[in-house]
Amino acid sequence: MGLIVQKFGGTSVGSVERIQHVAQCVYEEKEKGNDVVVVVSAMGKSTDQLVNLAKEISSQPSKREMDMLLTTGEQVTIALLSMALNQKGLEAVSFTGWQAGIVTEPVHGNARIIEIQTESIDAQLSAGKVVIVAGFQGITENGEITTLGRGGSDTTAVALAAALKADTCDIYTDVTGVFTSDPRFIKNARKLLSVSYDEMLELANLGAGVLHPRAVEFAKNYNVSLQVRSSMERIEGTVIEEEATMEQNLVVRGVAFEDEITKISVLGLTDSLTSLSTIFTTLAQNQINVDIIIQSTTEMGNANLAFSIKSDDLQETISVLEDHKELLGYGQLSAENKLAKVSIVGSGMISNPGVAAKMFEVLATNKIPIKMVSTSEIKVSAVVEERNMIRAVEVLHAAFELANIEAEVN
Amino acid sequence: MGLIVQKFGGTSVGSVERIQHVAQCVYEEKEKGNDVVVVVSAMGKSTDQLVNLAKEISSQPSKREMDMLLTTGEQVTIALLSMALNQKGLEAVSFTGWQAGIVTEPVHGNARIIEIQTESIDAQLSAGKVVIVAGFQGITENGEITTLGRGGSDTTAVALAAALKADTCDIYTDVTGVFTSDPRFIKNARKLLSVSYDEMLELANLGAGVLHPRAVEFAKNYNVSLQVRSSMERIEGTVIEEEATMEQNLVVRGVAFEDEITKISVLGLTDSLTSLSTIFTTLAQNQINVDIIIQSTTEMGNANLAFSIKSDDLQETISVLEDHKELLGYGQLSAENKLAKVSIVGSGMISNPGVAAKMFEVLATNKIPIKMVSTSEIKVSAVVEERNMIRAVEVLHAAFELANIEAEVN
């Protein structure tokens, strides 16, 4: 007997059949004697369809009206899921974000949750009902409808789990858990039974996109026990919690990778004291995300700078830099395309100084040149040529013995 | 300078292009210096699509969840219209039913408006913005989302006009106004410049379906000046107000008609005191709408009964009556199909006792047999054979000189 928050994303509720399947998952949890709160996203492509309607009308629609428009998507899903639960003989009640008491800051498109007033949900749970909450949305103190931005439904689920003091928050996805690497590419990748919040944050940021980083951060701050699991198969997923309890001896817990990276080199910066901040402020103002940044100073007092971006942003990055050449005061500009980032992640690294060295050695032994390097306490990333990416992941996955961990396979 | 409430139905907002056209109508009204509140329905067939989704899940979905589901339709339209107005350089703000302060009784699917708390709308109008309100929906005092049932958006518009003390409430439709008869069938039908609430009520109930009777009743109770007009053509429509100011000398103001009527005869009812109420209670419980009812008593103390129904309901009516034959206690049952109802409507009838007689005479002269008759203070209806319907309308339209009235044609 406990309280479970379940979250189902857009693919999991993409059709009437999928919604009926979700109803079955909820039914089984309820049968175990648990109270259940379900958070759902908009059905499959419905958000995209709404965005397209808006784009037909305006290239820059008002953010307030986009929130008004997009929040209808989850509202459709909660109503249909509630009906599907009724069909199974379960009493259910659906709540929009505002009905669920999800109060956010007065910002449209990317609001943060300030608090959750749980009275309405509490009352319905006490009455024995399944409560279905529209993810991704909230309300300001002035009654304006807001959305939480990307990963919003994950955040809604985690925030509700925290506010309701739920025993666990199950994030249902189309994969069975978090893996040591992407099983679509690395054939002996293993499912991890547990990872820590910080490891999950690094993995999520690195494109192992089963869970939005913001939701993981929220879970970490409120110590919410999360589980990533499959909506299709009834097997244990991966638990995300303060300290990964299993496989404690594992220094590296996963190898993540991401292609379509471009390295930009800016040579001969004249005034390195202010030019660095000027460059990245200018890029940020133009919505260009920069990942790894390396700076070195030459003996003549000039600075050289290299940073990595998504290849998609190449054209705009170049034109922004060229437009501001005089202001930024640099000599030469060059770009190297078709790169990829390979990263090893694990909390155990903190107390194992040799991990980065081992990574470089493994790559060198396999004749894979490293273009850039970046490190954090629990992660080492290396930028390599795109054509070497999968092989780099394979040799690292093998070298850190990730295929040998005692977890379920797939 | 005044305050105008404009209402656009589902067809008028059925596509991005139509929504942009609506934005133009709003823009022109605003340009005249008026404050504008716009009420819109869901886009074209979107409500039907949502209903179909629900039906795939449940044959009898919860009414609460149907309200949750269907209210998303208008919410999509208000957001898109607001964006379209922004594109035209107008400041606009969209409100769902609950944001607009439309409080209803705690009934799902067919709630009545209790009050409108206009503070939010007032504030936005004062700030010079166009306010767009989702029609058809409201909220209970407990924060439950409700819908107003059929004709709900018309009712929202009229209720808002009453609460905001608007100067007029313009109902935009795909016709240019209210006509002396249906111009698709009666070629010299004329558009009326004005009709009274009661006349409109009779015309609306008789299938001249430009305006929902409930909205007309609301307008009558709160003395809201209504105008039915075209969303495609910029011409005056028909004003609906307390006393039709023009054409005061017109005894009959319109000829309405409706086909697919069936007459049911129930002969030899043994106990006329209770059987009448039993029959119609039983039919009502089976959702069968009865229109005209005629009862006569035979010399032997038995009663004969005839009533009219929609032909679609024939099978069910017969089986309901046969299933309850013992309870109802009648002798014989018969049905006459392929009938139609032709009605003349006009406030002037009250003081003109010869109007009904003239109608019967005109039909007799033209050899059109009358099957049933029903009268109210401002209406006389005759049931005739379907094949005679249009001819009956034509001869009545001519006899009451409706083609001669001095109103714009079409």
Given B54, B87, B143, which is nearest A58 (Cβ)? B87
Contacts of A55 in chain B (CB under 8 A): none
* Count of CB pairs separated by less than 8 Å, A with B: 102
All residues at 6 or more sequence positions from A82 whose CB lies less than 8 Å from its CB, including other chains: A92, A93, A94, A132, B62, B65, B68
Specify the residue for token string 């004291």.
A273
pLDDT of residue B392: 96
φ/ψ of residue A128, rounded to 5: 85, 10
For the cut 50, the answer to whether the pLDDT of residue A144 exceeds it is yes
**Among A56, A58, A72, whose Cβ lies nearest the Cβ of B76?**
A72
Say how many residues make up chain A: 410
pLDDT above 90 coverage of chain A, percent: 61
**φ/ψ (deg, to 5) at A328:** -75, -30
User: Rounded CA gap, B378 and B348, in Å?
Assistant: 7
More confident position, B112 or B175: B112
Does B208 score more than 70 pLDDT?
no
**CA dist B78 to A65, A71, A216, B13, B150, Å?**
8, 13, 35, 10, 19
Res B272 pLDDT > 70: no
Two tokens, residue A104 = 């956010």
Q: Which residues of A touch B65 (CB under 8 A)?
A: 79-80, 82-83, 86, 94
Nearest by CB: A76 against B58, B69, B83 = B69
Quickly tell me which residue has 């209803």 as its tokens: B104
Sorting pLDDT into bands at 50, 70 and 90, what band is B61? very high
State the best of B26, B50, B63, B65 to mutate against chain A, taking most chain A CBs within 10 Å: B65
3-class SS of residue A68 = helix
Q: What is the pLDDT, as a whole number, of residue A233?
A: 85
The Cα A105–Cα A113 span in angstroms is 6
> How far is residue A344 from each of residues A260, A359, A378, A394, measured CA to CA in Å?
18, 8, 8, 12
Reduce the DSSP state of residue A231 to 3 states and report it: coil
Q: Residue B194: pLDDT above 90?
A: no
- C-alpha span between B293 and B358 (Å, rounded): 22
- Cβ-based neighbours of B225, under 8 Å, separated by 6 or more: B167, B168, B169, B219, B239, B240, B241
Whether A9 has a binding-site annotation, put simply, is: yes
Element holding B307 (H helix, E strand): strand B303-310
Q: Does A86 score more than 50 pLDDT?
A: yes
Rounded-to-integer distance, Cα A280 and Cα A290, Å: 8
Nearest to B46 by CA among B16, B22, B24: B16
B163 versus A325: which is more confidently predicted?
A: B163
Which of B47-61, B72-86, B237-251, B394-408 is the least confident region?
A: B237-251
**Mean pLDDT across the stretch A145-170?**
94
Which domains does chain A possess? Answer: 3-173 (3.40.1160.10), 255-402 (3.30.2130.10)
How many angstroms separate the CA atoms of A14 and A49, rounded? 13
Q: From residue B281, give the alpha-carbon distance in Å to each of A196, B319, B320, B324.
A: 67, 15, 11, 12
Q: Which residues of A touch B (CB under 8 A)?
A: 16, 19-20, 50, 53-54, 56-58, 61-62, 64-66, 68-69, 71-73, 75-76, 78-80, 82-84, 86-87, 93-94, 96, 99, 120, 143, 145
What dihedral angle (degrees, nearest 10) is formed by the CA atoms of A48, A50, A52, A56? Answer: -170
Contact assignment for B80 to A86 by CB distance below 8 Å: no
- A337 touches A309 (CB < 8 A): no
Q: b/e per residue, B111-125, with b = 16+ CB within 10 A?
A: bebeebebebbeebb
Measured between alpha carbons, how far apart are the two ends of chain B, in Å?
29
Task: Check whether B408 has a pLDDT greater than 50.
Answer: no
Mean pLDDT across A256-279:
83
Closest in B53, B94, B143 to A65, CB measured: B94
Q: Is the pLDDT of residue A367 over 70?
A: yes
Residue of B17, B50, B62 to mutate when probing chain A, most A C-beta within 10 A: B62
Task: Give one word for A164, left, alpha or beta, with left for phi > 0 and alpha for psi -120 to 50.
Answer: alpha
Residues 6+ apart with CB under 8 A from A318: A264, A333, A335
Residues A83, B20: C-beta atoms closer than 8 Å:
no
Cα of A15 to nearest chain B Cα, Å = 9
Express as a percent the part of chain A with pLDDT over 70: 94
Pair A307, A257: CB distance under 8 Å: no
Average pLDDT, stretch A289-302?
79
pLDDT at residue A272 greater than cutoff 70: no
Give the torsion through C-alpha atoms of A49, A53, A59, A63, to 10 deg.
-80
- B206 has pLDDT over 70: no
Rg (CA), chain B: 23
User: Nearest C-alpha of chain B: how many angstroms from A133?
Assistant: 12
pLDDT in tens, B287-336: 888 888 887 777 777 778 899 999 999 999 999 999 888 888 888 899 99
| CA atoms of A396 and A255, how far apart (whole Å) | 7
Q: How far apart are CA B178 and CA B211, in angstroms?
A: 9
What chain A residue is nearest to B132 in terms of C-alpha separation? A65
Parallel, antiparallel, or unpaired for β A130-134 and A35-40?
parallel
3-state secondary structure (DSSP) of residue B184? coil
Both structure tokens of B318: 């017969």
Q: Which two structure tokens, joined as six digits, stand for B65?
A: 């969840």
B52 vs A contacts (CB less than 8 Å): none
Output the six-digit token pair for A320: 């922004």
Q: Which two tokens stand for residue B359?
A: 């109608």
Instruction: State yes or no: pLDDT of B173 exceeds 80.
Output: yes
Residue type, B360: F
Which pLDDT score is estimated for A15? 96
* Alpha-carbon span B337 to B327, nearest angstrom: 26
Q: Closest Cα to residue A42, out of A34, A29, A51?
A: A51
* Radius of gyration from C-alpha coordinates of chain A: 23
Sign of CA dihedral A142, A147, A152, A153: positive
- The first and second tokens of residue B309, run together, are 């129904």
DSSP for B134-172, please give it: ETTEEE-TTS-EEE--TTHHHHHHHHHHHHTT-SEEEEE
At A184 the three-state DSSP class reads coil
Share of chain B above pLDDT 90, in %: 61
Is the pLDDT score of B244 beyond 80? no
Cα A107 → chain centroid? 21
Contact A65 B82 (CB under 8 A): yes
Please tell me whether A7 is known to bind a ligand: yes
Q: Is the ipTM value over 0.85, yes or no?
A: no
Q: B80 to chain A: nearest residue by CA?
A: A54
State residue B409's pLDDT score.
41
Q: For residue B154, give both structure tokens.
A: 């018309």
Q: Do the Cβ atoms of A132 and A78 come closer than 8 Å?
A: yes
Q: Cβ distance A173 to A9 under 8 Å?
A: yes
Cα separation, A242 vs A220, in Å, equals 7
Strands A137-139 and A194-196: unpaired
pLDDT in tens, A377-402: 888 999 999 999 999 999 999 999 88
Compute the nearest-CA separation of B163 from chain A (Å): 21
Query: Which of A288, A287, A297, A298 lies closest to A264, judged by CA?
Result: A288
The pLDDT of residue B303: 78
How far away is chain B from the Cα of A139, in angstroms, using its nearest Cα? 11
Which of the four pLDDT bands, split at 50, 70 and 90, describes residue A273?
A: low
- Would you tell me the crossing angle of helices A46-57 and B16-31 to the nearest 10 degrees? 40
Chain A residues whose beta carbon lies within 8 Å of the beta carbon of residue B73: 72
Across the interface, do A83 and B58 touch by the CB < 8 Å criterion?
Answer: yes
The Cα A15–Cα A231 span in angstroms is 14
Q: Is the pLDDT confidence value at A282 over 60?
A: yes
Question: What does the pLDDT read at residue B82?
Answer: 98
Chain A residue at shortest CA distance from B73? A72
pLDDT at A378: 86
Provide the 8-state DSSP code for B179: B
Average pLDDT, chain B: 89
B9 marked as binding residue? yes
